[in-house]
Structure 1
Amino acid sequence: MKNLETFKKNLTKDLEQNAPPSLFQIKPVNDWIDEAKKRPIPKMLFGEFWHEGELCILFADTNQGKSILAVQIANSISSGYSTCSLQLEAKQQSVIYIDFELSDKQFECRYSDDYSNHFHFNNNFYRAEIKPNSKIPKEFNSFEDYLCESIERIIIKHNSKVLIIDNISYLKNGTEKASEATTLMIFLNDLKRKYNVSILVLAHTPKRDYSKPISKNDLSGSKSLMNFCDSSFAIGQSFNTTGIKYLKQIKQRVVEEKYGIENVISYSLKKDINFLKFEFIGFENELNHIKQIEYNSLSSRNAKIVSLKSEGNSNVAIADQFNISEGTVRNILKKINT
């Protein structure tokens, strides 16, 4: 028996000596907490929507102002002043904004008064775009590999702790595919941890039902992207008030939900001489903004509710379709069945 135990110990030791490095770091939970206590509490970069050390996704449909808001956030952090009536707790610091959307001339137009009287950004604000006619060096297998390595190089060179990428579709060709999205998010999370950088990534929504509240399912490639990010928020369009946008929390890990369906933040888009921005209006229920489904009468609506229930739909699912509360559905069914 003793010889067998000795054999097992020697075998285990031999395997450990010849094995590749482990992927995992393991220690008692209390040791993890003691280590974490030495690090500062993450500060707000854009209110409760985005904190230091987070990989955050901002998504919206086309032409809803994602880039406008992202530049506004970058300007806030780089200048040290809060924006959009949301708290900025972090110190003033440099921000790298990688712009795959606008040319420099288009960017100039947004932040000038008809190409004159230009807005002056803080020198902490760096903008990057792809060099024209760039060729992939032979040591890279693909454009995506070259692009990701170049992003890492920028972070190292400028020693910036805040990175904004506009937008995610340029990093990988197939973010709707789970494998592509997962690979991309692993890369971004590695950047976040390796350099202690806070990352905001802009993304788009595929065609969605505008009669329903925004959810995580509206993000293109939602499952993999949402699983790997720390936080996420969305821009919605009001279908009841022209020109109004709203912000809604979709996912959060370090705070409780504050800006959910019952308390979204409404904004108007305004150009303040030479700066295009989101201007705060107030707080509202998201149901006041979404597209209303018209029905000829309450009786026809109620008949449809009964029909949907008979098909096995839940009260919650029916309520979502008609933009009413689950309690209203329950009361309608109760009255009709009595």
Structure 2
Amino acid sequence: MQQNQAQSMSIHAEHLQQQSLQQLNQPEVIEDSVLMVREANHWITEARDAAIPKMLFGKFWHQGEVCILFADSNLGKSILAVQIADAITKGSANAPFDVEAEAQTVVYCDFELTDKQFEARYSQDYTNHYQFMPGFLRAKINPDIELPNGFDDFDQYLIYDLERTVVATNAKVLIIDNLTYLRNETEQANGALPLMKELKNLKNKHGLSILVLAHTPKRDLTQPITRNHLQGSKMLMNFCDSAFAIGESNADSTLRYLKQIKQRNTEQVYGESNVCLCRISKPYNFLHYSFVGFGHEWQQLEDRQKSLTDIELLQQAMQLREEGLTLRQIGTTMGISHQKVDRILKAA
């Protein structure tokens, strides 16, 4: 009996000692300021209770992300963006561009197309118009608006109106086509940084998913697309959650390929060894990207040796022309037809 009491008192003493040690090692609670400091387990617990981000456009874009889609001009960024918005409002799309999230409202800010151009893309010769879901809301710039008091510039007012629109429509998905309308100096770090901060603030404040379309400067078409090909790439890439690009296939001018450039909620699935090949088509009244298959990016790039050979031919033909030779004489000297010489010189 006495032995049991002694063991009980010993266990109790050890328990008190452990509590005392824990209290000694317990960090002081830091009052929230710029930093919110918690134990790592606290953040894990909070994250565990939050919903897992669902796909909005396959592995390329997930809920709660600020995502950038960039490409050269005239490759179909707007076509793909409208297709993505349409799929989200329906809550469904074909693989590999699956939509996991439930159907929801999308605000699509169209700063590129006129109303008639938009109609042409989503109709059959301006008849038999495609019927979008009611949740597809298209916004455009009001040309008659005057800058109200309290705003320093148009950029500031536009950001304010984006937030007002999101609140009024209760939309959780925002697509901006394109970036240059939000900032005139997105290629400069001092223009990109405030912009990305404002978009991140909107995302965090209202739980948004934001897709922003952007341009690439002229690039070497013999090289793979990288994050350095986005205008203002350093700051924009640092502050976005994900990014993907559209490239044009040199093997087939009707083909486009989609490549993941940055991702946080998934592994890289569509890198340079597995890009998504698509073809822009309009079988009836909806212009869209049709998935064709997968491929290697290097197969879509311009051949560097061919590119260099063309430059050398051009330089040689121009030099011989300056020496006074005729097209036939140039062709004989270079070992090509005079018709090809004519095409080379006209291209110059």
**In 1, distance between residues paired with 2:105 and 2:98?**
18
Is 1:75–2:105 an aligned residue pair? Answer: no
Looking at structure 1, the residues matched to 34 and 195 of structure 2 have their Cα atoms a distance apart, in angstroms, of 19
1:143 partnered with 2:154? yes
- Give the counterpart of 2:218 among 203, 207, 221: 207
Matched, 1:263 2:306: no
Contact 1:191 1:197 in 2 (8 A): yes
Shift of 1:28: 1.1
2:187·2:232 contact (CA, 8 Å) conserved in 1?
yes
Higher Cα Rg: structure 1 or 2? 2
Instruction: Choose from 301, 322, 336 the match for 1:290.
Output: 301
Cα deviation digits, residues 44-76 of structure 1 (max 9, x gap): 000100000000000000000000000000000
Encode CA deviations 1:260-303: one digit per residue, 9 max, x unaligned: 00000000110121100000100000001000012699xxxxxx
Whole-angstrom distance in 1 between the partners of 2:276 and 2:124: 28
Match of 1:302? none
- Cα shift at 1:118: 0.2
Pairing partner for 1:163 from 165, 174, 183: 174
C-alpha distance in structure 2 between counterparts of 1:146 and 1:242, whole Å: 40
1:165-204 CA deviation, whole Å, 9 max, x = no partner? 0001100110011011010000000011000000000000
Aligned residue number for residue 90 of structure 1: 101
| In structure 2, distance between residues paired with 1:295 and 1:46 | 36
Secondary structure of residue in 2 paired with 1:249: strand
Write the letter of the residue equivalent to 2:240. Answer: C
> Does the alignment pair 1:64 with 2:75?
yes
CA distance in 2, matches of 1:26, 1:174: 36
Q: Distance in 2 between matches of 1:122 and 1:83?
A: 17
Instruction: Tell me by how many angstroms 1:238 deviates.
Output: 0.3
User: Aligned pairs, how many?
Assistant: 279
Q: 1:220 is matched with which residue?
A: 231
The one-letter code sitting in structure 2 at the alignment partner of 1:33 is I
**Structure 1: which amino acid aligns with 2:195?**
L
| Distance in 1 separating the partners of 2:35 and 2:307 | 61
CA distance in 1, matches of 2:202, 2:97: 26
Aligned counterpart, 1:275:
286
The match for 2:194 among 179, 183, 207 is 183
Report the 3-state secondary structure (helix = DSSP H, G, I; strand = E; otherwise coil) of the residue aligned with 2:100. coil
CA distance in 2, matches of 1:83, 1:180: 37
Structure 1 outlier segments of 4+, above 4 Å: none
CA distance change for structure 1 residues 85 and 254 in 2, over 3 Å: closer, same or farther?
A: closer
Identity of aligned residues (%): 52
CA distance in 2, matches of 1:174, 1:296: 33
CA contact (8 A) 2:91 2:100 kept: no
Find out whether 1:129 has 2:169 as its counterpart: no
- Could you tell me how far 1:247 is from its partner in structure 2? 0.2
- Unaligned ranges ≥5, structure 1: 1-15, 298-338
Q: Is the 8 A contact 2:69 2:212 kept in 1?
A: yes
Residues 296 and 188 (structure 1), Cα distance of their counterparts in 2 relative to 1, 3 Å cut: closer
For the Cα contact (< 8 Å) 1:43–1:52, is it kept in 2? yes
2:241 to 230, 242, 264: 230
* Aligned-residue RMSD, C-alpha: 1.6
In 2, the alpha carbon distance for the partners of 1:108 and 1:78 equals 19
Given the alignment of the two structures, is residue 29 of structure 1 paired with residue 34 of structure 2, yes or no?
A: no
Q: Secondary structure of the residue that 1:294 maps to in structure 2? A: helix
Aligned to 1:325: none
